Amino acid sequence: MYKVFVNDKPLFLTDKIEKETDFKLFLLDSVDIDKIIIKYFQNKIDKAFLYHPNEKQILKKIKEKIPVQKAGGGVVFNDRGEVLFILRSGKWDLPKGGIEKNEEMEETAMREVEEETGVSNLSIVRKLPKTYHIFKRNGKYKLKITTWYEMTSTYEGELVGQIEEGIEQVAWLNKDQIREAMNNSYENIKLLIDELGLLKE
């Protein structure tokens, strides 16, 4: 199952039909995806399932219905165990950005972290789960698939938010500060931070 966020609410892509009744179920093959997305943005849907019997085909099918933008990003730890966050549009987020031509995804992730925060000396530790969310750009809906990497950095210099990307603040946050920041973040970022065990007491 895939969890795609639309307006910070879950849209599940699934090969199983659930027995619950608190959500809407649509058939992926025949659905008008734009209509569902609009309902999410109008707050008429809080949770929905898109069903397709073959799990291996689900992502391929959704990509036929909505343009995909690929991005790479980093969960960067410093020597003190703090994590690098950015504040953008008044919400705490992690540095990430779109892939460029002839770039490997690891290169994208490291370049975007450095461009958005000023942090260099980056090393990739491992690949993390991808996140999926739908956004609107130039009047069209797109599915952003972000590949995340856990990284480390020995950088001790100044943090510089990328102005043209609307970054208001860059900060190293400790575990307590991260838990606080997650009250003002995005659902897919919370998923990622939880995956790393950073929300445990």
For 183-201, b where at least 16 C-beta lie within 10 A, e where not — what string?
Answer: eebbbbbeebbeeeebeee
Q: Which domains does the chain have, with CATH numbers?
A: 2-65 (no CATH), 71-195 (3.90.79.10)
Res. 17: pLDDT tops 90:
no
Res. 200: pLDDT tops 90:
no
Does pTM surpass 0.85? yes
Res. 201: pLDDT tops 80:
no
User: What mean pLDDT do residues 168-195 have?
Assistant: 96
Residue 51: name the closest of 23, 71, 70, 75 by CA: 23
Lowest mean pLDDT among 23-27, 116-120, 148-152: 23-27
What percent of the chain is predicted at pLDDT more than 70? 99
Average pLDDT of the chain to the nearest whole number: 94
Lowest mean pLDDT among 24-28, 85-89, 174-178: 24-28
Strands 24-27 and 48-51, by their bridges, are parallel
Residue 23's pLDDT band (cuts 50, 70, 90): confident
Contacts of 54 (CB under 8 A, 6+ apart): 15
Calpha distance 68→134 (Å, rounded): 9
- Tens-digit pLDDT profile for residues 51-93: 999 988 999 999 999 999 999 999 999 999 999 999 999 999 9
Q: Which residue has the tokens 């998923």?
A: 191
pLDDT for 20 equals: 66
Q: Which two tokens stand for residue 51?
A: 């069903």
